[in-house]
A and B are shown apart, each in its own frame.
Chain A
Amino acid sequence: MKKWFRKENLEYILSLFIAIAASLAIGALIMLANGRSPILGYSALIKGAFGSKYNLATTLAKTVPLVLTGLATAISFRSGIFNIGGEGQLYLGAFAAAYIGFTFTALPKGMGILLAIIAGGIIGAAYAFIPALLKVKYKIDEVITTIMFNSVAVLLTDYLVNYPFASSRGKMGGTEMVAEQFRFARLVKLSTLNTSIFLMGIIAIFIYYLMEKTSHGYDFKMVGQNSLFSRYGGIKDKKQMIIAMLISGALCGIAGAFEVYGVHYRFLQNISPGYAFDGMLVALIVKNNPIGVILMSIFFGGLKTGSIAMENATSIPSELVLVIQSIIILFIAGEAGFKRIYKDLTMKRKLKKEGGTK
């Protein structure tokens, strides 16, 4: 616990707050430029995100896929392999999980859910394995392959739900519903918050221990140490990269399974509005720290939920939060550089002063 209070960590937390404050300030300027009051906008946003039991539940429900995909990103980036394919792994995992739920409908409750989660995890991991193998064996840039694989997975599942597995009734672009006994119970009326959040908690604790407390985690760090926030450099161990990528893919697949069994009860063609990309953003902002991922996911979930209330209050499009989020990441990515420039400036000023007194 002590290392949390080390100088560089405190410094980082300070710069994180400055980055968020600056991004929110830019958001405020955009509101002002549109002739709206930022105070009104932001207070509506906060109220909309955390103001009532229902709002808080909606925020937490949005947090679930962000935490899982965020941890997936963190574990892969720390090992020096960049899994940008979370979205594709999520889609395939979600479909595999849904397949279990509408095919083996006679299974007892616990068995069905367990099987579905395992199926989602395995398919997600398998889909992440291909680019991982191409990376370590043939040195093919995993960033490009995983991005290409995202599009392929989305198109493939799009085909599956529209042709061989199209629902016989109801809307287009969805599979049959999964059996009723498998579904995660809802926790708060009207909100989609469900019991999968507890499972997410268990998984998060497990990943935290894996990344921070075990010798295995130490390996992950060793592999990606120098590249904590940079892509190149650092020793890169092939086996570690593959393991990290498998875990990463499994987490994304499980995130997909949770969406199916907790929210939609079926696989839908556009089941994820880019959860894995948001998760990646979250992990990048907190420099792949697992606890940071959870806190930042709640913040992002709050921004998403609250943005609707903000839109109602000020008629500023809710998409403003997308701009705010991406500005945060720009500031954080430039953090080290900004700090250096700041130090240079203060040093110069000091030198000038000292030179003047002499």
Chain B
Amino acid sequence: MIKELFNLTLIQHTIRTATPLILAALGGLLTMHAGILNIGMEGMILLGAFFGVVGSYFFGSSLGGVLLAVLVGMAVGLLFGFFVIELKSDEFIIGIAINIFAGGLTIFLLRSIFGVKGAFSSPDIIPLPKLNFPLLDNIKILDVIFNNHSIFVYISWILVVLTYIFLYKTPYGIWLRASGEYPEALETVGVSSKKMKYFSSIMCGILCGFAGAHLSLGYLTLFTENMSANRGFIAVAAIIFGASNPVKTFLAALMFGFFDALGIRMQVMGIPSQFTQMIPYLVTVIALFIVTKNQLRKIKKKREGAK
């Protein structure tokens, strides 16, 4: 039974289900470094998924889908930034508003564009290309794990590295982090912290657009209502778990992906799907519990040490 559960397919599924979490979490950690907690990622992913399908369907290419998802992501990121940075609205309320807006808009457009309720799928939606490295074909383990993934899987890995380099090795990254922590100091050097915040917010929109496009065009080509299924919030949990570090957040997202994949595998064993579907949500709460408990303990130790 355990053999049935823990096999190479599980790793393959983990990589697949973790990808939207990784993409969204990378975007969210950029805003986090700029001092903004973005609860609206859930809605941003949903919009990305919907407009990915719209673009792919009407332009007849998956690239068109991704471009449209990115465009919409940029627009929503800009909107989020405008409200939070310019109007100084509560980032949390705006996040919720964007989630609700995305839910309503996609349901409305699903009916007015495609004339359907609930879900839309069509052979005219072109899926994202899958990559195959013939070099790995002969080694079964590597073939199963690394081959035949949708293109965003590989892009997400590259982006983890790029985000790390950007944040810690380039002046822009330092400015971005300073805009969250020491905005006044940044201004004295002559860099606008506002601009850095806008940049992080728009980048987050783009990355959530990627995440959405991966969901709706990656494996199954369809859009269903609320298909983001709380992934935006799990991504927030991954950022907290990974302490906003790109590599650690990547690992946290992989862990959440693993439990998601494990749940899917467990259905094979005859466990009611309702319970297996609960796993990622429960794991998220437990993970947050562990990480904050550790943090509290560290703070306590520090205080005692100071005495």
Contacts and interface: CB of A to CB of B under 8 A. Distances in A.
B134 interface: no
B90 A229 contact: yes
Interface in B260-307: 272, 274-275, 277-278, 281-282, 284-285, 288-289, 292-293, 296
A333 B284 CA distance: 29
B105 A138 contact: no
Contacts of B104: 319, 322-323, 325-326
A284 B272 contact: no
B278 A317 contact: no
B39 interface: yes
Contact of B83 (A149, A337, A340): A337
Contact of A138 (B86, B93, B94, B293): B293
A327 interface: yes
Interface string B100-126: 110111011001100000000000000
A330 B101 contact: yes
Interface residues of B, number: 43
B186 interface: no
A169 to B, nearest CB: 22
B105 A326 contact: yes
Contacts of B103: 322, 326
Nearest to B105: A323
Given A134-B289, A139-B292, A158 B274 contact: yes
B21 to A, nearest CB: 14
Given A159-B272, A284-B93, A333-B94, A138 B281 contact: no
Nearest to A130: B285
B168 to A, nearest CB: 26
Nearest to A321: B104
Nearest to A151: B281
Is chain A's binding surface mostly helix, strand, loop or mixed?
A: helix
Interface in A302-337: 316-317, 319-320, 322-323, 325-327, 329-330, 333-334, 336-337
Given A82-B92, A322-B108, A337-B83, A144 B284 contact: yes
A336 B103 CA distance: 25
Nearest to B115: A317
Interface in A150-181: 151-152, 155-156, 158-159, 162-163
Contacts, number: 136
B223 interface: no
Given A138-B296, A319-B104, A336-B88, A284 B112 contact: no
Contacts of A163: 272
Contacts of B292: 138-140
B93 A327 contact: no
Contact of A148 (B39, B277, B281): B281
Nearest to A320: B108
Interface of B: 39, 83, 86-94, 96-98, 100-101, 103-105, 107-108, 111-112, 229-230, 233, 236-237, 240, 272, 274-275, 277-278, 281-282, 284-285, 288-289, 292-293, 296
Interface of A: 34, 82, 84, 134, 138-141, 143-145, 147-149, 151-152, 155-156, 158-159, 162-163, 229-231, 277, 280-281, 284, 316-317, 319-320, 322-323, 325-327, 329-330, 333-334, 336-338, 340-341
5 contacts: A144-B236, A149-B285, A152-B282, A316-B112, A333-B94
